Amino acid sequence: MPEKIEKKLLVVRSDILEKLSEVARKENKTLFALTNEILQDALKASEMKTTIREIVDFYRLMKIQKESGSMVIPMNLLLSSLKKSNDKMKILKEWNDAGEWYGKYLIAKFDNPLEILPSLLSTSFWHVSEVKINRKTNDRIAISIIAPNVDQLLIEVTVEYLIGIMRALDFYNIKNDILHGIAILEFSKELIEK
Amino acid sequence: MRKFLTAKAELVEKVNDVAKKDGRTIFSIVNEALEEFLMANEKNKSLYEVIEELKTIEIAKNAGMVFVPEEFHENVINRTSLGKNDYKSWNEAGRIFGKYLEVNNMKELKNIERVIKYLIGGVSEILFSENRVVCICPKMSEQRSEELAEFLEGLIESLGFIISSKEISRGIIIIKIKKQKAG
């Protein structure tokens, strides 16, 4: 005789229950089985010290990143390829161009790219321990990045990438302080001599 | 309006524990989870797939990887030829990544196939079976194919396989493998 499964009741919003029943029907599952699957996933998320909402949001950001033509490579190999090049200016220009393209990609994808940019940068700049975007006024934005354990060259290319993104979003770079492991940048809608 | 739904008692109890720990009601946690499931479902992705993909991202991040614009990387490797040390480094990176997969209990071939597909991006076909690894990505340059093959070799070996032969052409990698005998 099959073992009897102990069940418990959960209170849910009726609109959610309706949609859930529809999905269960479509997937040819019982509502009970589908609910158990979802709870299991929610518990898995909780074990990862996150929530399903955060996971779905993070997934959405990663998807944007991947679809924009980004790839992942080991950081040490990126650095060695950067250092191998004799033409640093060319490398910086290429990152700037790549940033500008990414900025245009964001314009094409979103009505307000500046709104999504902070979350995109925090989830995709894995080499940076902190990235902050401060919208000082409608026309001024400050971006700071902190990456204490990262090679200076990687910070420099990251800065160029950011300048490229902001350029696509119609912001000029007016201040650019790069210290060891820290970069503080300011952007303005108006071009001001640095 | 509120309604009732049944679930396995053990799961409900675990969710209840999480709710207590987080200082939330079980109602809010369950409804949030169901709502998010419905949202992911609309995008034709199951939560399981989303969570698994995020695990891959976490592993890549912890293994010291970074995002780079693909076009930039292709430009750089096409300008500079790959030296012995570069091959060695790609192989080493593959080995490290393989170890991270092992530590995270992702040694199943199906998992590895999915992880590689995610990492390579733009890949049109990837097959990871007990006797061969095939990767087809027509837009990949010869240089990129070579470095990727090195990465895959390192990864494969760290997972306990022996490489019996490999063929690399632009955009196509075929590596024949066999399982290392225990002991």
Give the model's confidence band at B110: pLDDT under 50 very low, under 70 low, under 90 confident, else very high.
Answer: confident
Whether B38 sits inside 8 A of A20 (CB atoms) is yes
Contact between B123 and B70 (Cβ < 8 Å) = no
- In the prediction, which pLDDT does A41 show? 85
- The answer to whether A156 touches A162, Cβ cutoff 8 Å, is no
Q: Where are the domains of chain A?
A: 14-49, 88-188
Q: Most A CBs within 10 Å: which of B21, B36, B66, as the mutation test of the A interface?
A: B66
Q: Do B79 and A85 touch (CB under 8 A)?
A: yes
Q: How confident is the model at residue B61 (pLDDT cuts 50, 70, 90)?
A: confident
pLDDT at res. A103: 94
Question: Considering the entire predicted model, what is its pTM?
Answer: 0.78
CB-based contact (8 Å) between B19 and chain A?
no
Residue B123 has pLDDT above 70, yes or no: no
CA-wise closest residue to B153 among B140, B137, B166, B139: B166
The tens-digit pLDDT sequence of chain A (194 residues) is 567 889 999 999 999 999 999 999 999 999 999 999 999 988 888 887 777 777 878 888 888 887 888 888 888 888 888 888 788 898 899 999 999 999 999 999 999 999 999 989 988 888 898 999 999 888 999 999 999 888 999 999 999 999 999 999 999 999 999 988 899 999 998 766 55
Residues of chain B above pLDDT 90, percent: 33
pLDDT of residue A72: 85
Question: Cβ separation of A39 and B8 shorter than 8 Å?
Answer: yes
Please give the residue that has the higher pLDDT: either B167 or B112: B167
Residues of chain B positioned with their CB less than 8 A from the CB of A10? 4-7, 12, 26, 30
Which residue of chain B has the CA closest to A90?
Answer: B76
Could you tell me what percent of chain B has a pLDDT over 70?
Answer: 95
Question: Confidence band (pLDDT; 50, 70, 90) for B182?
Answer: low
**Interchain CB distance below 8 Å, A69 and B70:** yes
Taking CB atoms and an 8 Å cutoff, what residues of chain A touch B105?
none
Mean pLDDT of chain B: 86
Contact B8 A7 (CB under 8 A): yes
CA distance A137 to chain B (A): 30
CB pairs under 8 A between A and B: 217
Interface test with A, best of B47, B95, B144 (most A CBs within 10 A): B47
Give dist(CA B58, CA B51) in Å, integer. 10
- Put simply, whether B65 touches A (Cβ < 8 Å) is yes
pLDDT confidence of residue A173:
95
- CA nearest A53 in B: which residue? B36
Q: Which residues contact A144 (CB under 8 A, 6 or more apart)?
A: A130, A131, A132, A134, A182, A183, A184, A185
pLDDT for B68 equals 86
Q: Residue B72: which of A37, A65, A94 has the nearest Cβ?
A: A94
As a three-state string, the secondary structure of chain A is: CCCCCCEEEEEEEHHHHHHHHHHHHHCCCCHHHHHHHHHHHHHHHHHCCCCHHHHHHHHHHHHHHHHCCEEEEEHHHHHHHHHHCCCHHHHHHHHHHHHHHHHHHHHHHCCCHHHHHHHHHHHHCCCCCEEEEEEEECCEEEEEEECCCCCHHHHHHHHHHHHHHHHHCCCEEEEEEEECCEEEEEEECCCCCC
How high is the pLDDT of residue B43? 67
CA distance A165 to A171: 9
The per-residue pLDDT for B151 is 92
pLDDT of B119 strictly over 90: no
CA closest to B35 among chain A residues: A16
Residues of B in contact with A96 (CB under 8 A): none
Which of B88, B72, B144 lies closest to A96, judged by CA? B72
* CA-based nearest residue in chain A for residue B115: A72
Residues B18-45: tens digit of each pLDDT: 999 889 999 999 998 898 888 878 766 6
How many angstroms away from the CA of A179 is the closest CA of chain B?
21
Phi/psi-derived region of residue A28, left when phi > 0, alpha when psi is between -120 and 50, beta in every other case: left
- Provide the 10 A C-beta neighbour count for residue A110: 14
Q: How far is A88 from chain B (nearest CA, A)?
A: 12
**Interchain proximity B64–A74, CB inside 8 Å:** yes
Which pLDDT score, from 0 to 100, does residue A172 have?
A: 95
